[in-house]
Structure 1
Amino acid sequence: MGQKISMILGGLWLFFFCTGLFSGPAALTWAEQWTALWSNQGVVSTILWDLRLPRLCMASLSGGALAVAGLLMQTYFKNPLAGPSVLGVTSGSTLGVALVSLGGVAVGTGFGLAGTVLGALAGAWSVMVLLGAVIGWFQSRSALLIFGLMVGYLTGALVTVLQAGAEAGALQAFVVWGMGSFAYADWTGVSILAVVLAATGVWSTRHRHDLDMWMLGALTARSMGVNERSLTWAILTITGALAALVTAWCGPVAFLGLATPHLVRILYRQHGAGKLLLPVLLTGSVLALMADWAVRFTAVPLNAVLSMVGAPVVLWLLLRRSESSAP
């Protein structure tokens, strides 16, 4: 069953990737585009290699990265509603970018690449470290979730303050960036995210047993030889980096990190983090490519498309949890 689903998802990935590569507003024939794809010369080649391919690669990598980050966060916090956008990690990255682009803090000015990436990383890691520090204070998963939401509201308020005092040009650019888009991708961002995601895959594969043991509880994990401190800081670092890099290049992309792991659990009927890693990566990539396809052909902002898909998933999770806890 799982192999069949993976084949279907692989076919969908290939379909949306190829459709996105050879479709667009430019009136080009398939023959022209196919020839230009291998010639690396002319305007058509520039469209394919400098615009469409980076966009598609970034969409695919970002969807997979956020989905994996969501899976790791749900595993570590043992909370089905955990995710970069829910626990305030994405909001922290947004605040970091806002400090750089609207407040002129850190490296560079405006949307300089170095400043944007460093700001996003600093914001995401600050929130992740805060969550890791206070997780022991809360007896219930719901309390931790509310804490993360409040962190998100606080960082959102600070972003609003920065927007209120920003110049018109910088404010307009920041608002457009905040809607989320894969259209501003470049090969630098694709390369960096690919390396970090590959390193995440290697680490997760080597520690799949630790992740599965952690789901059984901290005491059980420690009794099975899991290094709790090492696992904690590894997950905080990885998920913060993945969320920050996606946010820096694509804006605060919503819901993929939260909804994708649950969709995979339903499709594959499995719950172990180690077994779900590759399916989550593939499904997140497919969902991101599908959302980008909808954006390109409907002109609807990316986060609007993802919210229309992700919000019903969250509502369904809340209703299911309410039913399971009802007497």
Structure 2
Amino acid sequence: MMHFNQFFSLFMALLLLFALSLALGSSPISISQLWQGLSLGPQSTEGLASIIWQLRLPRSLAAILAGAGLSVSGLLLQTFFRNPIAGPFVLGISSAAGLGAALWIMGGSLLGLSSFWAASRWGLLAAAASGAAFCLFILLLLAWRLGQRPAHLLLMGLMLGSFTNAFILFLQYFSPKEELQSFIFWSMGDLNRLGWSELALLTPLVFFALFLAFLLAQGLNIWLLGPTEARSLGLNTSRLRWQILLISSLLAGGITAFCGPIGFVGMAVPHLARLILGSQRHQVLLPFTALLGAVLLLACQILAQLPGLEQLLPINLISSLFGAPFLLFLLLTKPLD
């Protein structure tokens, strides 16, 4: 079967990295201890089992979900815009989620509310998700009013992102240092805040959006020929535009709300997937991109929690540290097409 070796190698790498993410950390765990801790179950109060089930396992699963979702979101947007630098942040959805988080964390003091307002984890999640949803509503409204051409949507997304970033800077300027520090930590991306209750919401959201994306594979292949050729082949290009916009926004906004902004994964992984497969067929490119994104973000999570580090590094720091040089390498060695 074509590309079987690539898929098998990537799947084995995912299993290996998943085991390493559970074993490595400030307190390394041996394979026998890992198996023993897993066998005790999530309800165990024994120290080793508690570390595995309540800290490392949710964190590793969150990395897999976020990596897969952001990568597929980036692939959809790069295909839609036929633009190699498009990514989950291009529509302003992630920036709007950041604005919702900023209003929740730093807006409380401006409104005279107590510090409990900013400390609520579920409130922060709801605020970030609401910001993303509101931006999507505005984007869809503008697209319906002004037309759905990719260039228009790209400009509208950039304008919305610029506006939300300006408002965030305004809040930062007038916020006390405690709230400012809290927002900065959120903006660095953090998989450690996710527990089983958050994963119970994030998991079906990501799987549902990925399933919808896979259903668009044939339409995406036709879309690459250009809108005129696609319409002549019977593709409903208007419906495909809305579907791509909704699915990519759902993935980018939802993951940002749960995990904070995570840079370069959605932009770099689709390029690397095309480079490895040498194919533009979305029937194989979509699942491979999802799997590759999960592997790479899980690797970033492992680097963020290596033994000897007293604190876990922000996931956004690691992903940007490796993502930016990779994109620069592609630009210098291979045209992005």
> TM-score band (shorter)?
0.7 to 0.9
Aligned-partner residue type, residue 306 of structure 1: S
Partner Cα separation in structure 1 for residue 237 and residue 123 of structure 2: 33
Greater than 6 Å deviation, 4+ residue runs: 135-140
Quick check: 2:74–2:270 contact (8 Å CA) kept in 1?
Answer: yes
2:79 aligned to 75, 78, 87, which one?
Answer: 75
SS in structure 1 opposite 2:263?
coil
* One-letter amino acid of the structure 2 residue matched with residue 121 of structure 1: A
| Distance apart, 1:244 and its partner CA | 1.8
Equivalences for 1:41-60 in 2 at 5 Å? 41=44, 42-60=46-64
Partner of 1:32: 33
Query: Out of 307, 311, 318, which is 1:305 matched to?
Result: 318
Amino acid at match of 2:289: V
Change (3 A) 1:239 1:121: farther
1:128 Cα deviation from its structure 2 partner: 4.5
- Which range is displaced more, 80-89 or 170-179? 80-89
For the pair 1:5 / 2:45, whether they are aligned, the reply is no
Which residue matches 1:276?
285
179-188 or 60-69, larger mean C-alpha shift: 179-188
Structure 2 vs 1, CA of residues 154 and 32 (structure 1 numbering), >3 Å: closer, same or farther? same
Question: Equivalents in 2 of 1:118, 1:226: separation in Å?
Answer: 37
Q: Distance in 1 between matches of 2:83 and 2:248?
A: 15
Cα distance in structure 1, aligned partners of 2:121 and 2:235: 38
What is the number of residues matched between the two proteins? 321
Decide whether aligned partners of structure 1 residues 224 and 307 sit closer, same or farther in structure 2, where only a CA change above 3 A counts. same
Q: Measure, in 2, the Cα distance between the counterparts of 1:187 and 1:155.
A: 31
How far does the alpha carbon of each residue in 1:39-65 deviate from its partner, in whole angstroms, 9 at most, with x for none? 122122111111110000000110000
Gaps of 5+ in 1: none
Partner of 1:196: 205
* 1:98-247 pair list within 5 angstroms: 98-104=102-108, 109-128=117-136, 133=142, 148-247=157-256
Q: Write the distance in 1 (CA, Å) between the matches of 2:199 and 2:275.
A: 30
One of 239, 256, 266 as aligned partner of 1:257: 266
- Say whether the 8 Å CA contact 1:180–1:301 is kept in structure 2: yes
Amino acid at match of 2:16: F
Provide the rounded CA distance (Å) in 2 between the counterparts of 1:54 and 1:140: 37
Partner residue of 1:97? 101
Which residue in 1 is equivalent to 2:23? 22
Query: What is the DSSP-based 3-state SS (H/G/I as helix, E as strand, rest coil) of the residue aligned with 1:109?
Result: helix
Amino acid at match of 2:100: G
* Aligned partner letter, 2:315: L
- Letter matched to residue 327 of structure 2: V
Checking the alignment, whether the CA contact within 8 Å between 1:69 and 1:242 is kept in structure 2 is yes
Tell me the secondary structure at the aligned position of residue 118 of structure 2. Answer: coil
What is the SS of the residue equivalent to 1:110?
helix
Structure 1 residues 138 and 72, CA, compared in 2 at 3 Å: closer, same or farther?
closer
* TM-score in terms of structure 1 length: 0.86
Q: Deviations over 1:116-138 (max 9, x none)?
A: 33332333344445556469779
Q: Could you tell me the percent identity over the aligned residues?
A: 34
**Distance in 1 (alpha carbons) for counterparts of 2:82 and 2:257:** 27
SS in 1 for 2:117: coil
Give the aligned CA root-mean-square deviation in angstroms.
2.9
CA contact (8 A) 2:69 2:210 kept: no
Contact persistence 2:76–2:244 (CA under 8 A): yes
Distance 2:69 2:119 in 1: 22
Find the aligned partners of 1:165 and 1:197 in 2 and give their Cα distance. 36
Note the C-alpha offset of 1:28.
4.6
